[in-house]
Amino acid sequence: MTSQDVTAVMADGIGELTFASAEWVSAARTEMTRLLAETPLPNVKFTLCEVGHYAPVWMHAGDKLAWYMRLVDGALEMGAHELPESECDFKVQADHSILSNLACVVHAANPADIVAAVVARLTKLTRWKLSGKSPGDADLQVLLQRLHDAMALRTMPRFVWMSPEWVVIARRFLTSRATSDKYRADLAGVDYVFVETFFHTPEFFFPDGAAAGFWVHCSNGDVTVGSGSPPDGMPSPDALTQGWYGACLPVGRTVDAVANDSDKAAQRRYKKAAFSHVSGGLPAAAQSSPSGRDQMPRPLARVFAPMHDTMSKRTSGELPSDYAPDDAPWGEPQEFDRTSGYDTSWLRYDRVDLYGNDRQQESKSTDETAAEHGV
């Protein structure tokens, strides 16, 4: 069901800059200035603008982030805002999370066929609005590709919450901290199992209806992180969170460090309404300790401490209810989780699944299989 793993051709690490933010543009300007010093383009005139819709709500920057680059006879100008089409030679608009992930793909150091497969998969997931033409100057094309690969090392990816690729980023984060000089020695001898599992996953995410989630097993200081349900043979969880995917998603991507008073009040209202919901005798969210050892050892807790905010910044902004009706208390968008200008049409999960497969084709195949069995 899945197509090429996006993280296979992404830069190592988890990035530290949000695509098209002022900080990202500042870093890109520094890099492009360096590249132009090596390869001047005195006769090139070109203006590029990229606009990412569904900007991360935690930035309180509105519903989109944009950046532009203008070259005029070798002089460089770059800024963190949108230009009108009339001022651009080439303007690109798409979903911010998809543009972010495309920006993390490293072209030069990876097999061209795998890069092409990843780009094709990601391209299917968003609606595109293009105006003008990409640069025709060969030297400028080379510099833009070098700029892209250099910024890929610093750009944050933004994946669907609890997807396998989201877990890859969580694994990179946790294991890099656990093996650092600051924490490695204190973790020696620590044994602990942490599990989060979420049910009723949206069809565009797990077409087979499987549960989402991730698990962390710290065994004598060695930290292993996996996607989905824990493997057979793993010790009983010390900390277990279970919940409805749609109910937990908005809270799962909050960035507490930058939440304002309005955000916090809205979060409290949401939790009271959504987490009190019970269906079939099961609450929308529940925490337990099957092993009876619910208290996370302090050395491991220090490794985990910044994980929530770190991963929230690297989480995309869609809701299951954008692509399928959901009248539960969590079905409506929340003000702390979405800007008022959010336009659900930029993502195409009503037509394709997370892996770029045609959902209509899947439905057709299912119908044909049922018909063959006389259903």
| 363 vs 368: CA distance, rounded Å | 9
Check: CB of residue 250 under 8 Å from CB of residue 206: no
pLDDT in tens, 97-109: 999 999 999 999 9
Side chain identity, residue 299? P
Q: What is the pLDDT, as a whole number, of residue 310?
A: 98
pLDDT in tens, 286-342: 999 999 998 999 999 999 999 999 999 999 999 999 998 888 889 999 999 998 888
- Three-state SS annotation for 207-254: CCCCCEEEEEEEECCEEEEEECCCCCCCCCCCEEEEEEHHHHHHHHCC
Neighbouring C-beta atoms of residue 116, cutoff 10 Å? 13
Q: What is the mean pLDDT of residues 198-204?
A: 92
Q: What is the pLDDT, as a whole number, of residue 252?
A: 96
Q: What is the pLDDT, as a whole number, of residue 194?
A: 98
- Please determine, for residue 264, whether its predicted confidence score (pLDDT) is greater than 70: yes
Q: What is the mean pLDDT of residues 219-246?
A: 95
Structure tokens at 68: 């532009």
Q: What is the pLDDT, as a whole number, of residue 3?
A: 63
Mean of all residue pLDDT scores within the chain:
92
Q: What is the pLDDT, as a whole number, of residue 360?
A: 66
Q: What is the pLDDT, as a whole number, of residue 171?
A: 98
- Please determine, for residue 4, whether its predicted confidence score (pLDDT) is greater than 90: no
Domains of the chain: 6-152 (3.30.1050.10), 164-337 (no CATH)
Q: What is the mean pLDDT of residues 11-16?
A: 95
- Please determine, for residue 20, whether its predicted confidence score (pLDDT) is greater than 60: yes
Q: How far is CA 156 from the centre of its chain?
A: 8
Check: CB of residue 154 under 8 Å from CB of residue 17: yes
Q: What is the mean pLDDT of residues 63-87?
A: 96
Output the pTM of the full model: 0.93
Q: What is the pLDDT, as a whole number, of residue 92?
A: 98
Q: pLDDT-derived band of residue 365, with 50, 70 and 90 as boundaries? A: very low
Share of the chain above pLDDT 70, in %: 95
